[in-house]
């Protein structure tokens, strides 16, 4: 069985955590597609499909803004122009906090800022000339975006993401990328 199939099966198993109850498969709130590039000299291209499950709890929601969040899981393909692998695949799970304006109080545009820290499982430890040393990676993400549409169902987000093995093993070159993400919220 190929690594890609193993990752796809693992991703589907992760999606089951989002299941609200039996018979509601899949129970996700949003789907996203992202593309971007790395900061490294290999000019790596990044393509990602993600699935989100919103948290049912929010904080600091006494005014027009509130802090909420969601679970984000996804499958990423990273293609470097150099290196010994054609492409590296990554499945990831990240809890993301989001500070946003209440869509009901907005005039069609709902700005937000988000931050998270997640875990990644890679099919290879090399991305171009970057040696990550371990298949397990950790990483923060930071994003700025805007929701729009009649129900605020669309989102456009700029996202910076990083992967590192947290110095569990040397070398730890890490990997940085800038992404443009388009999302659709089902509710």
How far apart are the C-alpha atoms of 103 and 178, rounded to whole Å? Answer: 26
Instruction: Tell me the pLDDT tens digit for each residue of 115-163.
Output: 999 999 999 988 888 888 999 999 999 999 999 988 888 999 999 999 9
124, 137 Cβ separation under 8 angstroms: no
- Cα angle value 61/65/68 (rounded, 5°): 65
Tell me the residue ranges of DSSP E strands in 123-174. Answer: 126-127, 130-131, 136-148, 154-163
Which tokens in the block code for residue 155? Answer: 């989102």
Domains of the chain: total: 1
What percentage of residues in the chain have a pLDDT greater than 90?
53
Residue numbers of the domain that contains 11: 3-185
CATH code at position 47:
2.40.160.20
What pLDDT shows up at residue 1?
Answer: 46
How far apart are the C-alpha atoms of 178 and 156, rounded to whole Å? Answer: 14
Instruction: Tell me the pLDDT tens digit for each residue of 33-66.
Output: 999 998 776 778 999 999 999 998 888 887 888 9
The predicted model scores a pTM of 0.83
Tell me the β-bridge partners of 135.
none
pLDDT bucket at 113, cuts 50 / 70 / 90: very high
The count of C-alpha atoms lying within 13 angstroms of the C-alpha of 116, restricted to the half-sphere facing its C-beta, is 23
């Amino acid at each position: 069985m190929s690594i890609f199939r193993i990752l796809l099966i693992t991703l589907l198993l992760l999606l089951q955590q989002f299941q609200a109850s039996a018979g509601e498969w899949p129970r996700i709130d949003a789907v996203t597609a992202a593309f971007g590039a790395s900061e490294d000299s290999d000019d790596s291209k990044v393509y990602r499909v993600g699935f989100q499950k919103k948290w049912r709890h929010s904080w600091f929601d006494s005014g027009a803004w509130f802090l909420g969040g969601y679970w984000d899981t996804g499958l990423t393909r990273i293609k470097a122009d150099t290196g010994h692998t054609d492409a590296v695949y990554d499945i990831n799970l990240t809890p993301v906090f989001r500070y946003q304006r209440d869509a009901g109080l907005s005039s069609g545009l709902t700005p937000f800022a988000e931050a998270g820290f997640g875990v990644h499982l890679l099919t290879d430890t090399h991305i171009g000339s970057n040696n990550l040393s371990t298949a397990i990676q950790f990483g923060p993400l930071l994003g700025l975006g805007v929701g729009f549409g009649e129900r605020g169902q669309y989102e456009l987000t700029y996202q910076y993401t990083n992967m590192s093995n947290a110095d569990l093993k040397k070398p730890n070159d890490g990997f940085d990328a800038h992404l443009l993400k388009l999302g659709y919220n089902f509710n």
